[in-house]
Amino acid sequence: MTLLVITGALCLLSPVASAFFEDAFVRLDPAAETAVERAQRWIAAAQRKDGSWKTQHGRNNTGEIAFAILALMVNGSVPGEGPYGEHISRGVQFLVNIQRENGLIIGTGDRGPMYQHALATLVLTECLGMTQSPRIRAAVIRAVDLIVDIQHGGGGWRYQPRVERGDISVTVMQVMALRAASEAGIFVPGDTIERAVDFIKACYHPEQHGFRYMTGSGDAAFARTAAGLVCLQSVGLYEDPIIPDVVDYLMGTAFADGKSGHYWYGHYYTSVGLYHYGGDPWKTYYPRIKEKILKDWVKYGHYHQLLETSWAVLILGVPYRYLPIYQR
């Protein structure tokens, strides 16, 4: 296949870039902006001195920590700058400090280490674009090398740091990390991305217009379909012929299954995917998910759990457009 190549660098917070963001900055409505700021204060207050957070899934789950860092960055804070600059810096240094000799970035007891590893790699890469830190760069290179080395011949990745037949959830996150690394100037082999995209497209269910968990069998589902959409967009396939049907699938399922175990995971990806798609789907979706979050947060201003709260902040904060994942 011919891969549409994404060019451009991550957002460098130079004076010129900062001026650009001041011009391009989009404010949320007052209720949503207040909700984001309130939840960010809760996330920041929960950070430990070593830069980590108490996590739900294993001790020092690096995926949850990565999402918490992204949530603090959603409206403009960067390492060392902004209301949460120091919190972000401590979180980033924690991730760098726990990287293992083989490049793996996971905490103690992390379940599904490659998913957590890719999220940590993504965050470090986005912060590398903002700091140009040699230490972060070295960590990202080692992390990327691990991802590339253990890709399955079929194009995917699985949860353990070894070559295994892939699934869509883990594979999407590896692609996101590799895409960000490539944009930050880290070498990523072109065939690695191409094989991964081939795998993602092979998970597509043409009758159901969504994505399966693995190739060859199973039904489409909401969360994995949202992840598949964002993956295709992240490598530049905004106009792929299957995308309108995928968007229709998401619009029909996003609020149809109650609060499943993957509810907020699915909505995180849906918010990014529909934002990039634009038009009526985004205009319909965002007010509805925003209303749900604001209603849920009336009393406490968060979900009492780090991961769900971070996802919700990222969903509400999509219109800010600060994070590279929100930029087309």
Report if residue 18 sits inside a domain: no
Report if residue 12 sits inside a domain: no
For the chain, list the strands marked E by DSSP.
204-205, 210-211
Across the range 198-227, mean pLDDT stands at 96
pTM listed for this prediction: 0.90
| Amino acid 15: pLDDT | 32
Domain total in the chain: 1
Q: Angle at CA 238, nearest 5°, toward 235 and 243?
A: 115
CA distance 98 to 133: 17
φ, ψ for residue 63 (rounded to 5)? -65, -45
Nearest of 159, 97, 150, 151 to residue 124 by alpha carbon:
97
pLDDT digits (tens, 9 = 90+) for 57-105: 767 899 999 999 999 999 999 999 999 999 999 999 999 999 999 999 9
Mean pLDDT across the chain, nearest whole number? Answer: 89
pLDDT digits (tens, 9 = 90+) for 276-328: 999 999 999 999 999 999 999 989 999 999 999 999 999 999 999 888 777 76
Report if residue 9 sits inside a domain: no
Q: Give the orientation angle of helix 222-234 with respect to helix 190-202, to 10 degrees.
A: 150
CA distance 315 to 11: 20
pLDDT digits (tens, 9 = 90+) for 235-282: 999 999 999 999 999 999 999 866 655 899 999 999 999 999 999 999
Report if residue 283 sits inside a domain: yes
- Domain containing 237 — which CATH number? 1.50.10.20
| Amino acid 8: pLDDT | 32
CA distance 185 to 177: 13
Report if residue 124 sits inside a domain: yes
CA distance 165 to 278: 34
Containing structural domain, residue 127: 27-326
